Amino acid sequence: MISPGRLWWLLRRDLRRGWRASRHHYKTLPRIREWQRPFWTEHRQAIPVHVLTGKNDWELAAWMLASWFHFSECAWPAVIHDDGTLTKEAVEVFQKLFPEVRIITRAEADKEMEKVLKPFPFLYEYRALHPLALKVFDVPHFTRGQRMIVFDSDLLFFGYPREILDWTAKQNEESWFNEDVADGSLVGASEAKEELGVTLWPRVNSGLCLLHKPAIDFEFCDRALAETAILRGHIWRVEQTLFALCASRKNEGGLLSKRYEVSLGKHSTPDVVARHYVGAVRDRFYGEGLERLAGVLLPK
């Protein structure tokens, strides 16, 4: 039973975000269970798509993956990383929608990464502090090949992702990211250069990552946490900063076009391919994103 305090909080939230977003949150979001995956046997890709998710955003992740499968017109190896809160219902829905999905439980991951990160004390400590660390460490460890894709749950696709598919088709060593609305790195350009010898890429957003696995160097990441002020900043930005430092150090790749959008506006641009609905505009995931995709992905 919902407590009065919780009920009041939900009411205030729904009033703040508006009727349209609330309606799609309650009515459209759960309907992802009705989606049927296209391209079962054709256009199979080898590069895995990794998603970190849990009880609060797994339905968003399911919508994200459905939109990705639909607009990429391919079947992808999907890997779900449990942040420690993933429910039994979520696991069952993922397995129904994506029968070949690999789900790595937090218990399984912790047991494996305990051994892997023991030589790196700062990485070991950071992973225990925040689940976003799993994106930096677990994803490359559990990737068998040399390249991987990492998507956040609050990302949606609206068009054919040609730039991403071009990257998958080439045997390159590049890493690519969303372009953020502002520079969110916990290390400034001067500190990165002076302490780590890295010319830092600006405005890296890790909601959408195309990664060359060898770029994520655990020894370098441990040094970065030890020798800079990263861990004194916002804990939820550490993961993004480490990705930016690693990619900048390798210096192959860069930022995707603005058609892979990160913005704070109410509406996305007309030619958008994907939009990462960051926290400040999360309600637009429902009010804009689901409203736009429901007629495309769900049965009539």
pLDDT digits (tens, 9 = 90+) for 118-141: 999 999 999 999 999 999 999 999
Q: Would you state the pLDDT for residue 40?
A: 58
CB 205, CB 185: distance < 8 Å: no
Where are the strands (E) in the chain, listed by range?
49-53, 78-82, 102-104, 147-151, 155-157, 175-179, 204-212, 253-255, 260-262, 274-276
pLDDT score recorded for residue 11: 54
Contacts of 248 (CB under 8 A, 6+ apart): 192, 198, 199, 200, 201, 204
* CA distance to 20, 140, 293, per residue, from 262 (Å): 21, 24, 18
What is the predicted pLDDT for the residue at 171? 86
- Residue 118: burial class (beta carbons within 10 Å; 0-12, 13-18, 19+): exposed
DSSP state of 151: E
Amino acid at 250: K
DSSP secondary structure, 156-195, as one string: EE-S--HHHHHHHHS----EEEEEPSS---SS-HHHHHHH
How many C-alpha atoms does 257 have within 13 Å on its Cβ side? 10
Cβ pair 252, 292 in contact under 8 A: no
pLDDT band at 22 (very low <50, low <70, confident <90, very high): confident
Whether residue 257 is predicted with pLDDT greater than 90 in this model: the reply is: yes
**Structure tokens of 66?**
């459905």
Lowest mean pLDDT segment, chosen from 12-26, 56-70, 92-106, 278-292: 12-26
Range 189-213 average pLDDT:
97
pLDDT band at 267 (very low <50, low <70, confident <90, very high): very high
